[in-house]
Amino acid sequence: MPSFSKSTKARILLLGLLFALALQAQSAIPDATPDSTAAPDRWRVHLTFDKAALSGLCLVRTLGDTLVGAVVNEFGLQAFDFVFDRRRGKVQLSHLLPMLDHWYIRRTLRRDLAQLLIDYRPDAPLHYHNERRNIDYLFTPLPDDSHETASPPF
């Protein structure tokens, strides 16, 4: 058996402990991955501001007490992603379009989406009007196409 110096033995022991801790932490994380067979809820989205409008699609997945969604405009550009925690009533935003990525717009979107998503049901339209900013949010569920194929025909 090769002889190791004290510092090498200490490093090997430290790496082993870190590896064991990483494995323990990984097993403690609950499995929050969605069911791969469940399709996300699909919505038609209309956000109407005083001088602008944004329309497109929204895909939402339910992961326990959390809603994870993405809004994409009509041209396929990602407007923003959101995560809504139902227990806390809080929304986190990410990947906003540059025209929406300002602190005051983020704050308004977070608050309004939290109000909109409190009563989330995948089969009913969602509507919220921000009186102060005169912003109208309308989420309309898209019909479920049962004849969709898993891959495109071409």
Answer whether 142's CB lies under 8 Å from 127's CB. no
Confidence of residue 6 (pLDDT cuts 50, 70, 90): low
For position 10, what pLDDT does the model report? 52
Read off the pLDDT of each residue in 79-95 and give the average, rounded to a whole number. 97
Sign of the alpha-carbon dihedral angle for 41, 43, 49, 53: positive
Give the model confidence (pLDDT) of 116-142 as tens digits.
999 899 999 999 999 999 999 999 999
> How many helices (DSSP H) and strands (DSSP E) are in the chain?
2, 7
Confidence of residue 149 (pLDDT cuts 50, 70, 90): low
How far apart are alpha carbons 52 and 32 in whole angstroms? 37
How far apart are alpha carbons 130 and 105 in whole angstroms? 13
Give the model confidence (pLDDT) of 30-84 as tens digits.
444 545 457 899 999 999 999 889 999 999 999 999 999 999 999 999 999 999 9
Confidence of residue 154 (pLDDT cuts 50, 70, 90): low
Answer whether 4's CB lies under 8 Å from 13's CB. no
How far apart are alpha carbons 71 and 117 in whole angstroms? 14
pLDDT at 1 over 70: no
pLDDT at 24 over 60: no
How far apart are alpha carbons 40 and 122 in whole angstroms? 9
For position 19, what pLDDT does the model report? 42
Read off the pLDDT of each residue in 8-27 and give the average, rounded to a whole number. 44
How far apart are alpha carbons 141 and 94 in whole angstroms? 23
For position 44, what pLDDT does the model report? 97
How far apart are alpha carbons 102 and 109 in whole angstroms? 10
Cβ neighbours around 145 below 10 Å, total: 9
